[in-house]
Structure 1
């Protein structure tokens, strides 16, 4: 098995909506307001309207749960759902929360990606295991996605 580059995805976020502390942890919602993606297999835009329905655990681990739409340059709509984890030393997480630039090598931020589409030319995405390494920027998440072959 090895990783094949799929795309670099830039997801622009609105400010956090804090739901508060729930029985499962602190619920944070980050509305997705746009973005872009580019790779050898497909390129296009991230459509506004999705969100990251994040749950932050007592130890500071963020459980990532995003759902949003991609529109490819040839007009296809692709639903994407990501799940994963972001965690690291408390001082690094505090700097991320404050919107400071942080070296992504100082924290763990990994995702799994699941796709659905009715577009025949991208049907292969729904049958492919994909993973990503991500970084948090002040108003965006950027990740490099790979397929596992």
Structure 2
């Protein structure tokens, strides 16, 4: 069973590329900010994505993108949450090329999912540390939208 936690809008900067390796094109996408809205512990929460994180990616030769992002959330109540998100984005060659060009593509045209773990010192959010979440993603030209669900 899944429990909706929050929605994230993660703002990103232009990718920095290392170049093509045997595994594929290695690149780093800087995380520049963003916002959070949801419900934790039965109460409405909001906050922001802090600048300074990054998504380290490998664009594989088969077109799939391996995603490995780390970033921080700051809730409006002062709690801070570290996010570690590993996932993938995959679609047809045409769709992946459109995404690579920065075009807006309907999220049902490709598959984007992440497994998410959290770390926080906030006493009332320790259950997050012991939970695994799944993010359903959508790539937009300047941000990634994630609907985040706890997996029971």
Aligned equivalents of 2:148 and 2:24: distance in 1?
Answer: 28
Aligned equivalents of 1:106 and 1:23: distance in 2?
Answer: 28
Whether 1:12 and 2:15 are equivalent positions in the alignment is no
Aligned equivalents of 1:64 and 1:43: distance in 2?
Answer: 25
Gaps of 5+ in 2: none
Match of residue 109, structure 1, among 94, 103, 112: 112
Partner of 2:99: 96
Q: Secondary structure at the match of 2:70?
A: strand
Gaps of 5+ in 1: none
Partner of 1:140: 143
Q: CA RMSD in A?
A: 0.8
Q: How many residues align?
A: 148
Aligned equivalents of 2:18 and 2:89: distance in 1?
Answer: 19
Q: Secondary structure at the match of 2:97?
A: helix
Q: Give 4+ residue runs of structure 1 displaced > 4 Å after superposition.
A: none
Aligned equivalents of 1:12 and 1:43: distance in 2?
Answer: 16
The alpha-carbon deviation at position 101 of structure 1 amounts to: 1.1
- Tell me the TM-score normalised to structure 2 length: 0.94
